[in-house]
Structure formats: structure tokens, C-alpha cells
Structure 1
Amino acid sequence: MRKDAGSAKSVYKSRYSFVWNYKNDEVWLTDLSTGGLHLSCPGFIRYRFDYDPSVRYEYRMDYQDTMNSKQLEDYCDLYADAGWEYVGTCVNWRYFRRPYLEGETTELYSDKESIRSFYRKVQKMLGVVALANLAILLGNSTHWISGWSGEGRISTFIGALNVIQLLCTLLLGYGVLRFQKLIKLHTD
């Protein structure tokens, strides 16, 4: 895939995942690096990789609220000082890598309070999105039940949308509970 040291061919891979499985995503990225595929642009479902079999990386992900450019620079500098290279961002998830060292695994967070704080941030984001979905679902359902949406196709479409929104709300609520369990696991 790689033509020479100056040009790399991009490879795209798709992956469906839920935020509570972010550790599996880290393993997936690290495993792809074993085969010479290195993340160059994270995506929501589709990721871009560059091919270079001469190096291997270990990947970690962190969730941070939206940052301005100065905050992001300071944040990346902090991780760079610890040996982590910033790869990119997707939906406030920050991707980092460092050269892979056989038998050595390093986490971004080393103490229980930092881990709990990280889990709470993700849990809060899931909770806010779940509540917003629930509010919209309740509004749509009220109009749909009262017949506001009209007859036939429109009513069927709104009903199907409500089912999808209900499933999304339940899935987000499940994510909140999963992170609550992780928080409890890291309690002293």
C-alpha cells in the first residue's frame, strides 16, 4: 500500500461502536497498528488510516468538552509531555497514540478520581442527549396521538420517527447506567 517514504495511501475502515465500549475501540486501533494501519483521521463511523509497517502504536481515547484552540493546544501539550501524540477529534473524543512498547500498557488516567471524573463527563453528555431526545419524543408523541400530524403517510412517518427516537433514548439511558456502573467500580 505504501509507495515510498514520502507518500502513504489512505485506507478507510468502518466501525460501529457505542461510547461505553471505547476500550474495545482502543484495542481495535492498536491491533490495526500491528498490521501497519495507523489512524490519521478519526470519524463517527468511518476512520482514515495511513499504512506504514515500520512502526506500531498504542492508542488511547479521552472525552473532553468543546475547547477553543488555545485550550486544545495546552491539553495536547500536556499529553505530549507524557509521550502521547494527538491524532484527532471526533464528537469531543480525543485520540492519542504513542509508540508501542512490548509488555507495557499505559492509561491516560492513573488514579481513581481522574477515572471517575472522566466517566462522569461521558455519563453527563449521554444524560443530556437522552433528556433532549426524551423531550422531543414527548412533544412529537403528544402531537401524533392528538392527530396533529395528519392522516396517512405523515402520521405513519411520525409514528416511525417516535419509535426510533424512543430506541435512541433507551440506548442513551443504558449508556448512562453503564457509566454509573464503571464509576462504582472505581470507588474507593
Structure 2
Amino acid sequence: MKKFKIFFDIEKEEQWLNAQLQKGYRCTDISGLGMYTFEKTDKRYVIRLDYQDYLSKKKFRDYKGVYEDFGWIYIKGSRLGGIQHWQKEDDGRNEIFSDRQSQSSYYKRLMSYSFGLGIPLLAFSYMLYKDSGLYLTEGLWSMKGSLFWKAFLFETPFALLRSLPAFMVVFFAGSFYKAYRKYSMFKEK
């Protein structure tokens, strides 16, 4: 079975993948374009996601080795950084972060991820809008009647596409704040 799904929130992706596991479908592959491949299984599995920054080949080998020693199967990820997908049979020891320090470090990496994606998008949005705005049709606002509405309706989908980076900035700012709150919670106690 294949399903197409795009996530911008690592925790929601993990919840969705675990819901598929509860239905009896084990994840076997994840493409970079959001295509998830599942196979039917009778065994109970659990999946966990981790975010890692760039790791050298040796550190990546060590990182994978630690998880594999505890029975985790590596599904998808990259040593260059990003979300790492881990799956194993449900044995009651299903958490990949065993202490407060590792949980705190995880949320700190998520904050870095959100910040790292949000700042370039903020700069791009500023460059995109500073001189032209969203609607680029010459004289659009001085047009009258049906000519205005035709031009306005034609230009609106393009204006929405140009506004996408600004929406992503807001999303990543929210994601940063959410990770910061959880990071603070683990850091304080």
C-alpha cells in the first residue's frame, strides 16, 4: 500500500505513522516526495522520528549503531541532516529518548531546524515583496468594472503562490515556539 502525505510537523508525522501501524501496516519506505510505502503485518510495531543536524560518516555510523543495538530498524534519513525514521517491534521499551537531557537536546535541534528554515524564507519574502507587492499586473488597481475583476481573479492564484513563503515563515515561527516551550519544560525540571 502506498500513501502520499506531506508533513511540516515532525510530531504529527510520527503520530500519523503510528496510527498506520495500529491499523496493521508497517512502513517499509519513505520517498523524499512524501510517498509512504506500507505492508500488511500481524506484528505490532512502533515508529519514532528524530531530527539530526549534519553528522560525519563516523558519527552517523555510531548514531545508527546505538539505535540498532536496541532493536531499532533504520527506515529513512540522511547523515547530511534532517528527520531520521526508526521502527521496531513493540516490546514496551519504545522511546528513543531515555532521559530528560536527550529530550531537551532533541527539542533544541528542532528549534535549530525551524530557525534554519524560517530565516532564509523571511529574507526571501522580504526580497519578493519589498518593491512589487503580491499583485504584479500593471495598473490593476486603476482598472474599472469587469476588466478589473477579470485581471484580479486571474492574478489572485499567482499572488497566493507568492505569499506562500510568508505563510511558511509564520509556520516555522510557530514550530520554533512550540519546540522552545517543550525545550524549556525539559530544561527547567
> Equivalent residue for 1:99?
89
CA contact (8 A) 1:140 1:158 kept: no
Residue 66 of structure 1 and its aligned partner are, at CA, apart by 3.2
Shift in CA distance, 52/137, structure 1 to aligned 2, threshold 3 Å: same
> Equivalent residue for 2:34?
45
Q: Distance in 2 between matches of 1:42 and 1:26?
A: 13
Shift in CA distance, 164/74, structure 1 to aligned 2, threshold 3 Å: same
Residue 150 of structure 1 and its aligned partner are, at CA, apart by 6.8
Structure 2's unaligned 5+ residue stretches are: 141-150
Task: Say yes or no: does 1:124 pair with 2:103.
Answer: no
Q: Secondary structure at the match of 1:143?
A: coil
Q: Secondary structure at the match of 2:130?
A: helix
> Equivalent residue for 1:13?
3
Residue 35 of structure 1 and its aligned partner are, at CA, apart by 3.4
> Equivalent residue for 1:170?
170
Residue 113 of structure 1 and its aligned partner are, at CA, apart by 1.6
> Equivalent residue for 1:6?
none
The CA RMSD over aligned residues, in Å, is 2.7
Q: Distance in 1 between matches of 2:48 and 2:55?
A: 19
**Letter of the aligned partner of 2:39 in structure 1?**
D
Task: Say yes or no: does 1:32 pair with 2:20.
Answer: yes
Task: Say yes or no: does 1:143 pair with 2:131.
Answer: yes
Residue 169 of structure 1 and its aligned partner are, at CA, apart by 0.7
Q: Distance in 1 between matches of 2:18 and 2:9?
A: 17
Give TM-score, length-normalised by structure 1. Answer: 0.77
Residue 61 of structure 1 and its aligned partner are, at CA, apart by 0.7
Residue 142 of structure 1 and its aligned partner are, at CA, apart by 1.6
Residue 15 of structure 1 and its aligned partner are, at CA, apart by 3.1
Shift in CA distance, 84/138, structure 1 to aligned 2, threshold 3 Å: same
Q: Distance in 1 between matches of 2:131 and 2:90?
A: 55
> Equivalent residue for 1:83?
71
Residue 30 of structure 1 and its aligned partner are, at CA, apart by 2.9
**Letter of the aligned partner of 2:173 in structure 1?**
G
Shift in CA distance, 74/172, structure 1 to aligned 2, threshold 3 Å: same
Give TM-score, length-normalised by structure 2. Answer: 0.76
Deviations 1:14-48 (A, max 9, x none): 3343325x1x4334323322433111112453211
